Amino acid sequence: MGKPRLIVIIRHAQSEGNKNKAIHQTVPDHRVKLTSEGTRQAVEAGERLLKLLRPEDTLRIITSPYLRTRETTNGILSQLSGHPNADKIKVHEEPRIREQDFGNFQPCTAEMERMWHERAAYGHFFYRIPNGESAADAYDRVSGFNESLWRQFADEDFPSVLVLVTHGLMTRIFLMKWYHYSVEYFEDLKNIDHCQFVLMEKNPITDKYELKTKLRTWSADRKKEEDRLQRDGGPSAKDLKKLEAAAASLEVIYGGCVNGCSHSRTGKLRADTWNGLTESPIGETGSETAHDLRNKLAVLQAGRDFGGSRSGAGSRACSDEDSGSADEEMSKPPDILIRSHNVHSGEPPRTPENSIRTDSRDNTQAELLGDVVQEDGGVRL
């Protein structure tokens, strides 16, 4: 057969870690099981896969060795017994498509929250989880896996359909390597839903694989949100809370100084320190700093679902509807809004800029925040 006619990438079903992230404090990530809902999703995925297969198809399934992916694979297999070539299905475990390593047992919830904020500020592709991996590290092992696949495609008896049962971030990493996505586009991609299929179909003329599944991006969702706000006539109280949280995130200090510093005593960086968060040297750099800060404010609050259960990635039904789970809602980037109105007090409309300037004790910070709210703070991360 040679190259398979179809490659199907499937994210594992809902796991206990997706429902309760704190479980990683006591259960190793590779031993996290599916929930009862996840078991149902896996069986349903098997039914959908059976409908995709032709009677003459042969099938190979390659799964991550994590328990939740193996259980998902078992659920899928339970529905394939009716296929004519069911007895020829081959299943292999492949450690190179396991989830991004998050550093053994996770620390307390507060420290994990700090780490997600730090990752959002640093950049999701290059940020290395303490004692774990960065997405760039995962990219290296997926690169080796892809090369192994291409060598196997040279075998005449390679099955006609290849299924990869893996994880959210690893799906995006696999596609990034295969289709040569940029780092920026990778960071704009959202996780696929639990048990969602990503279809790569071979073009018989070009012999190349065409991506048949439309991927969701943060920038597209942000545009939808901007359009909604414009239709509704302005931001809601919930939107304003996001802005307040983004402003409060200026207090967060990331990293540490090996030789000691005054951060722990003051809770803030020294005013005379130039590092992109405090006042910059006089000149054009000042306006550039406001621009950089605007982008940072747009992501610091959001953990964003760049990974599996530990990152707070939500589990949604496989549809194009806008509604999502609570975790999915929490993972959205904060929106930098333009105007608000205090409907309870009867006060005239106040811009977020004015509110922040009034309440802030730091004039420099207020000036930067003023620049933030005058423009949209969206950024691809």
Residues for the chain: how many in total? 381
**Backbone φ, ψ for residue 102 (5° rounding):** -105, 15
CB 149 within 8 Å of CB 183: no
**pLDDT digits over 331-359, tens only?**
344 333 333 333 344 444 444 344 333 44
Residue 227 reports pLDDT greater than 60: yes
How far lies 297's CA from each of 54, 151, 194, 240, 373, in Å? 50, 45, 29, 13, 10
Chain mean pLDDT for the chain: 76
Beta partners for residue 340, in sequence order = 350
Q: Which of 71, 94, 99, 328 is catalytic?
A: 99
What are the tens digits of pLDDT across the range 122-175? 899 999 998 999 999 999 999 999 999 999 999 989 999 999 999 999 999 999
Grouping H, G, I as helix, E, B as strand and the rest as coil, residue 199 is: strand
Rounded percentage of the chain residues whose pLDDT exceeds 70: 64
pLDDT score recorded for residue 218: 92
DSSP 3-state helix, strand, coil percentages of the chain (rounded to 5)?
45, 10, 45
The pLDDT confidence band at residue 27, using thresholds 50, 70 and 90, is: very high
In this predicted model, which residue has the larger pLDDT, 225 or 266? 225
Least confident of 47-61, 66-80, 97-111: 97-111
DSSP characters over 322-341: S---HHHHHTSPPP----B-
CATH number of 6-108+121-211: 3.40.50.1240
Q: Which band of pLDDT confidence, cut at 50, 70 and 90, is reported for residue 266?
A: low
Q: What ranges in the chain are assigned the alpha helix state H?
A: 16-19, 36-52, 67-77, 109-122, 135-152, 168-179, 183-188, 218-232, 237-248, 263-266, 284-300, 326-330, 352-359, 363-374
Burial 307-344 (b: 16+ CB within 10 A, else e): bbbbbbbbbbeeeeeeebbebbebbbbbbbbbebbeee
More confident residue, 315 or 125: 125
Which range scores top for mean pLDDT: 122-131, 259-268, 309-318?
Answer: 122-131
For residue 254, the SS3 value is coil
263 as an active site residue: the answer is no
pLDDT exceeds cutoff 90 at 312: no
Domains of the chain by residue range: 6-108+121-211, 218-374
Annotated active-site residue 291? The verdict is: no
Q: How far apart are CA 346 and CA 340, in angstroms?
A: 12
The span from the CA of 236 to the CA of 233, in Å, is: 9
- Given a contact cutoff of 8 angstroms between Cβ atoms, the answer to whether 325 and 314 are in contact is yes
